[in-house]
Amino acid sequence: MKIIFACFAFIATIMPPAAIMASHRIVSGEPAKLITQFKFQQFSGGVVIIQARVNHYPDTLNFILDTGSGGISLDSATVNELSIPTQPSERTIRGIAGIRKVNFLYNATLHLPGLSLDSLNFHVNDYEILSSVYGVKIDGIIGFSFFSRFIVHFDYDNLLLSVYSQGDFKYKRGGYMLKPLLTSIPIMHADFRDDRRLNSRFYFDSGAGLCFLLSDSFSRDSAVLNPKKKPVLTQAEGLGGKMEMRLTTVKEVRIGPYRFRNVPTYIFEDIYNITAYPYLAGLVGNDLLRRFNVTLNYAKREIHLVPNSHYRSPFDYAYTGLGIYVVEGRIQVEDVIAGSPGEDAGFKTGDIVVSVGNNISNNIQTYKNLLQVPGQRIKIIVNRNDSLIVLTLKPASIL
């Protein structure tokens, strides 16, 4: 299922990073101490979801952990359902499909398992489309406001998050140390090669459910992509809605000593310049980063990577051209790209997916995983106008 599940959410003028960092100074020579550990869920593209509560509200909420977010946020529907009071502001957020002013919940407390964070300013945004993508309610996104206060370790082998106090931290032996540029979103260097080899700067974005993304301006001006390859059309979901993208592969991406070949790559017209071209080329997303166990140490501007059991996992090259979402509890086809395998199979907008192969779980994550096999003919039953129809889909390969 070739749709990006990206959580681009860059917020302007929340709070100067220096002010946040200054309130959590490291005591020289003091060792970092484990504060808490808890499990997380991992969804399509490697996106990480944890559960937490806000203030005195008893409801457990689902948050995406996103290094690509310059703050912390709540979903507008969640705010309305819980009757959380917010205040208007002149501050804005930027995403792949828009710029908008946001309301705030000021001076709030976030309760994680074994840890509470106070003095947080949540901005409010509409995450309905992300809930439709993942099939679970997305109540907010946790970014810099959390990562800047602690040392945070992602163990993707065991789906375990460890949170440490700031201080002298003993990293696991081996691995590679990134020294990112850091204001509110980490910026890393990476080498990549297609028609030619380049080194450039990229956002380190754990909230983007993809491997690699280039802005169209960078791709065009650098002439880095092989002109003989014809990308396929797809789309992304993020702040502001959906946006058309192109999908291809690049021959190689290198992060330090680690090399990945034939990496799925998205190219998009960055209308709102969220990738800050020409300063940055794009971003590295969590479908690549999840192949490492990752330690974030923002206070020392360090990100430590250790290859894990997913390091050699195959990339997803399957392409269907279908956009499927959870709509009122049903898994529904919302988009069919012209000329795609989905259109060739006879899918129509509004089709309700009843089964994929022999699976009738009505679980969108399961269905998407089943559609990640290029060249395999898959029987799919859809409900169209109260009639059951059997369609045969053969996902294409972008290689």
Instruction: Give the span between the Cα atoms of 302 and 180, in whole angstroms.
Output: 7
User: Residues with Cβ < 8 Å from 353, sequence gap 6 or more?
Assistant: 324, 331, 332, 333, 367, 380, 381, 382
Using DSSP's 3-state secondary structure scheme, residue 19 falls into helix
CA neighbor of 41 nearest in space, from 64, 74, 59: 64
Locate tokens 């294409």: which residue? 396
Q: What is the pTM of this model?
A: 0.91
SS3 call for 40 = coil
As a CATH number, domain 319-397 is: 2.30.42.10
User: Fold match between 3-164 and 176-307?
Assistant: yes
Q: How far is CA 80 from CA 101, 103, 142, 333, in A?
A: 17, 12, 19, 28
Closest CA to 379 of 360, 363, 355: 355
Residues sharing a CB contact under 8 Å with residue 348, sequence separation 6 or more, in sequence order: 333, 336, 384
Would you list the domain boundaries of the chain?
3-164, 176-307, 319-397
**CATH architecture group of domain 176-307:** Beta Barrel (2.40)
Residue 299 DSSP label: G
The pLDDT tens digits along the chain (399 residues) read 433 434 444 443 333 333 333 334 444 579 999 999 999 999 989 999 999 999 999 999 999 999 999 999 999 999 999 999 999 988 877 766 567 789 999 999 999 999 999 999 999 999 999 999 999 999 999 999 999 999 999 999 999 999 999 999 999 988 999 999 998 999 999 999 999 999 999 999 999 999 999 999 999 999 999 999 999 998 777 666 678 899 999 999 999 999 999 999 999 888 878 888 899 999 999 999 999 999 999 999 999 999 999 999 999 999 999 999 999 999 999 999 999 999 999 999 999 999 999 999 999 999 999 999 999 999 999 999 999 999 999 999 999
Q: Lay out the sheet containing 352-356: strands in order across.
A: 322-327, 330-336, 352-356, 378-384, 387-393
* DSSP letters spanning 46-88: G-EEEEEEETT----EEEEE-TTBSSEEEEHHHHHHHT---B-
The third-level CATH classification (topology) of the domain covering 3-164 is Cathepsin D, subunit A; domain 1 (2.40.70)
Q: Which stretch of DSSP H or E encloses residue 22?
A: helix 17-22
